[in-house]
Structure 1
Amino acid sequence: MLTQTLAAIERFGIPKKLIAGFLTVAVFMTGDGFELTFLTKYMVDHGFSAAQGSLLITVYGLFAAVAGWTAGVLAEMFGARRIMLIGACWWIGVHLVFLELALPSGVYPFILAVYALRGFGYPLFIYSFMVLLAQTVRPERLASATGVFWTCFSLGLGVFGAYIPSFLIPAVGEYRTFWFALPFSVAGLLLCFLMVPRTRDSRAAKLTHEERVRELAEGVTIAFHNPGIAVCGIIRMINSLLLYGFPVIMPLYLCGRQYGGDSWFPVQDWMRIWGSVFIVMLFFNVFWGWFMDRFGWVWPMRWFGCALLAVCALSFYYVPRWFGANAPLMVLAAVLIGVGTSAFASIPAIMNSLVPDKRGAALSVYNLSAGLATFVGPGIATLLLSTAGIAGICWTYAALYVAGAALTYTLRPKQPGLAKRHMTGAGAKAANVGHGVGDITIETAAKVTALAQNTATAISDDTL
């Protein structure tokens, strides 16, 4: 049974040696996602302002963006597994300082600084594994592999990371719940050490220190030299705005009476509603990767990604205002967010096709953009919360998704899987035509032969 499963995974385009790496990402991101859905409310409940709680996650995202930028090139130069281990150790160490010293101190600048520093850890871990995928998986299957990667990411960050705390908080309280992140992050570290294969780019290993610095800088400068890479980076940043923006504002809006809210749901219900986003992403990350490799990388991202999420950005605000505490409708809105957020699985494949000889630099832009989403999403909330309110934030998100849809019209990548499919179809048609011509030729020859025989017989009869 196990052999058949592994064979099926390989047919999907994923080498067996990477399977343990996907599991590692899911386990580690469970620990990283523990506080995402309730940290802002925790800060407000302990005497800090909503803007301070939002700023905490915003600055965390900024540091994550910087780490994401460096992860792609560092993984190519020093090996993905090594950078993953460094990122995990950093995250665990700083998280201990955050829980033991920063939070109990009640000193906001200290809390902010320590939590921001923790943001360096997880991007080094997960985006280094993304480089490993690009080094190992065939280009025509990279979107599918990326879909599996984001499924594992979603399983950790959004499903286990949201649902486990929703049951722990009523039992042990919010502060103790923070501690339960550690067993998952430590388990992710051990799995990485034991099961993720060692890799090293042979070309990168020969680079001098000056050349390595130049490679690192190229992770940003390539976006200025190649407009397609820049566009992909912007779309990738827009992709996850709701994923990181809504956990900041929606607990305040749905679970309290601030900013136009009406205490529609208790906080644990909100966490479970939000967990629906990631449950759906488990399936649709894989589906969209498979679908895009076969039917196109760009148009599903435009309509099922950007356009759908523009509608979803508004639905989370208006559904409770129009229908009250209607949990099924909120779950439906969350499900659609999951479907839309998953429909960007082809971006790494597009970037890889645009600059196949600068894979590390292109993925650094991708990782930087993914990290910037964790900064820009909460950052918009921090800037607009006191002026435009929740409604203004949601409309801003919707407008950015519309802009992302417009940007997709500038992307025209070569798609190996789609070209192969067209060639196969063309070959089949040619074969059918060839068979048809052959059939016609044989049939015509038979008719000519029969006519000749009849003519010969007739002449012989006349002669006789």
Structure 2
Amino acid sequence: MTSTSSPAFENSSEMSKVVFGMPVKLFWGYIAIAIFMTGDGVELAFLSKYIIDIGFNVSQSAMVFTVYAITAAIASWLSGGISEIYGPRKIMALGVVWWVVFHVLFIHFGLAAKNYPLILVFYALRGFAYPLFFYAFYVLVVQRTPSHRLASATGWIWSMFTIGYGIIASFLPSVTIPLWGFLTTLWMSLAWVIVGGAIALLTLKELPSQNKTAMPGAAKLLEISRGVTLIFANRDICLALIIRILCNLALFGFPIFMPLHYTSQNVGFTPEQWMRIWGIFFLVQPVTNVLWGIIGDRIGWLFQMRWVGFFGCTITTLLFYFMPLYFPANLGMAIFFGLLLAFTITSFVPMGAIFPMLAPEHKGAAISVQNLGGGIGNFIGPAIATVLFSASFDIKTVVICYSALYFIGGVLTWFIRNPQPARVPVKTETDLTSLSLKEEK
């Protein structure tokens, strides 16, 4: 490519280089996500126990995670809009610096000093950091990927997130804590975040023409506020928000009560066997996330989410509860039904492509709405279980409720406009320029 190529052509040329659904130019960004999220998730396996061990009670420990969840949800909502305005790379840099500063303060002045108010404050403030880094990269991927390949590209994002946050960060402390202890393991996580941040900032570039830095201040505030106003102004975005909230009911709800079901006398698994079943459920997701992204780009985003995601989860959530009753203590069968559940839940990967394409002129704001739905979704699954248990309903009733809500989500997909663009073969410079102009419109 010569230096005289137009930005539009350069963008399209780079976007055309895709391997297994991943934009090649963003390869190191994906690696950076896995490394950064490993550092961010290292403490999850032991932090609550450590807070209790140094003298605080269960309620105080729970409050630490509650305020963290609140700040992370706020940052997730804001990150899409501000990334589109100021540029994803700048927001990623802000996320790295913010994380490092408040992680150091959290460890040194909070945990090491056993100062509960500072533990609470600094951990909550650190909660703003990872969404800035992660979702800014999400915006960059949306900006740099052809629309007809967007589900594949976002599928890779969630695969890298799962590899770092869900897999490596879960197993790493089991090695480092016996060797170095709790606090040293927390200090070690700094290295992961710094390395991940450095890789991203040194290897990624953005196209300034796709950002909105030159907008007046009032217009920038208006653009950020679209993360809420789009919900009311765009009917399709509103419906997409509802199905975004529903899609992860089982993912976040099942860990609350399924261990009780699987280790009950009627089912007969040990706690260790349950953890193995749930661990394998996550272990396959990096692969299925990518596969469903590629498949969704070919067979249709809404079609896949409707039939495999919502109607599939309508069935697999029931199977995951009822089948162990018919095959008690049968680990192989339990793993099989866990894999079926993972297979259907990960088919929601195209959700990340649908939102920005429903509002192509405000993609950052649309991603913010998606993030808001994700935050509410993390809460709604456990909340439904809590409400029903408080009303004296049993686990079976909760699972049936989840299944019914998945069915409703599937029905709602028929009322959402299909935003998926047609697959466009890109072969020549003329074709690339034409595609670029279509994307900009």
- What secondary structure, in the 3-state scheme, does the structure 1 residue paired with 2:418 have? coil
Task: Name the counterpart of 1:407.
Answer: 412
Structure 1: distance between partners of 2:182 and 2:137: 31
Instruction: Give matches, 1:319-398, under 5 Å.
Output: 326-380=330-384, 391=395, 394-398=399-403
Matches within 5 A, 1:243-254: 243-247=251-255, 253=260
- 2:171 corresponds to 1:163: yes
Structure-2 separation of matches of 1:404 and 1:48: 42
Tell me which moved more, 67-76 or 156-165. Answer: 156-165
Classify the secondary structure of the residue corresponding to 1:417: coil
Equivalence for 1:300: 304
Aligned residue pairs total 411
CA distance in 2, matches of 1:338, 1:417: 28
Kindly indicate whether the alpha-carbon contact (under 8 Å) linking 2:88 and 2:206 is maintained by their aligned counterparts in 1. yes
Q: What amino acid does structure 1 have at the position aligned with 2:357? A: S
Counterparts in 2 of 1:273 and 1:164: CA distance versus 1, 3 Å: farther
Residue number in structure 2 paired with 1:276: 280
1:264-321 deviation per Cα after TM superposition (whole angstroms, max 9, x unaligned): 224xx65554332333121111111111111111122123222333455456666667
> Structure 2: which 5+ runs fail to align?
1-13, 426-441
Asked if residue 72 in structure 1 is aligned to residue 80 in structure 2, the reply is yes
Q: 1:406 to 1:255 in 2, by over 3 A?
A: closer
CA contact (8 A) 1:58 1:376 kept: no
Task: Flag the 1:115–1:339 CA change in 2: closer, same or farther, 3 A.
Answer: farther
Q: Could you tell me the TM-score, scaled by structure 1's length?
A: 0.75
> Deviation string for 1:202-259 (max 9, x for gaps)?
56122011110010001110111111111212222322344344455667x48999xx
C-alpha change, 1:203 and 1:183, in structure 2 (3 Å) is: closer
Counterpart position of 2:227 = 219
Mapped partners of 2:248, 2:360: distance in 1: 25
Matched, 1:209 2:223: no
Question: In 1, Cα distance between the equivalents of 2:381 and 2:125?
Answer: 19
Match of 1:417 among 417, 422, 435: 422
1:77 is aligned with what amino acid? Answer: I
- For the residue of structure 1 that corresponds to 2:349, the secondary structure is coil
Where 1:34 maps in the other structure, the secondary structure is: helix
Q: Residue 146 and residue 102 in structure 1: after superposition, are their counterparts in 2 closer, same or farther (change >3 A)?
A: same
Assess, with a 3 A threshold, how the Cα gap between structure 1 residues 374 and 7 changes in structure 2: closer, same or farther: closer
Residue in structure 2 matched with residue 3 of structure 1 by the alignment: none
Contact 1:71–1:364 (Cα < 8 Å) also in 2 = yes
Q: Partners of 2:262 and 2:421 in 1: how far apart?
A: 48
Out of 237, 247, 251, the residue aligned to residue 239 of structure 1 is 247
After superposition, give the CA deviation of every residue in 1:319-367 in whole Å (9 maximum; x if it has no partner): 6677565543443344233222321122233223322222122111112
3-state SS in 2 of match to 1:159:
helix
Matches within 5 A, 1:182-201: 182-201=190-209
Deviation larger for 61-70 or 47-56: 47-56
Distance 2:329 2:181 in 1: 25
**Aligned-pair identity (%):** 39
Q: Could you tell me how far apart the structure 2 residues matched to 1:213 and 1:402 are? A: 38
Distance 1:310 1:175 in 2: 43
**Cα distance change of structure 1 residues 50 and 8 upon mapping to structure 2, 3 Å threshold:** farther
**2:104 corresponds to:** 96
Q: What TM-score, normalized by structure 2, do the two folds share?
A: 0.78
CA distance in 1, matches of 2:248, 2:258: 15
Instruction: Answer with 398-407 or 342-351: which moved more.
Output: 398-407
Deviation readout 1:170-221 (Å, 9 max, x if unpaired):
6666666545433322221111221121443456122011110010001110
Segments of 5+ residues of structure 1 without an aligned counterpart are 1-5, 422-464
CA distances 1:62-114 after superposition (whole Å, capped 9, x unpaired): 32221111111111111101101111222233333333444456676654444
- Whether the 8 Å CA contact 2:288–2:343 is kept in 1: the answer is yes
Structure 1 pair 64–216 and aligned structure 2 pair: CA distance change class (3 A): same
Alignment of 1:253-268 (within 5 A): 253=260, 264-266=270-272
Q: Is the 8 A contact 1:81 1:199 kept in 2?
A: no
Rg larger for: 1
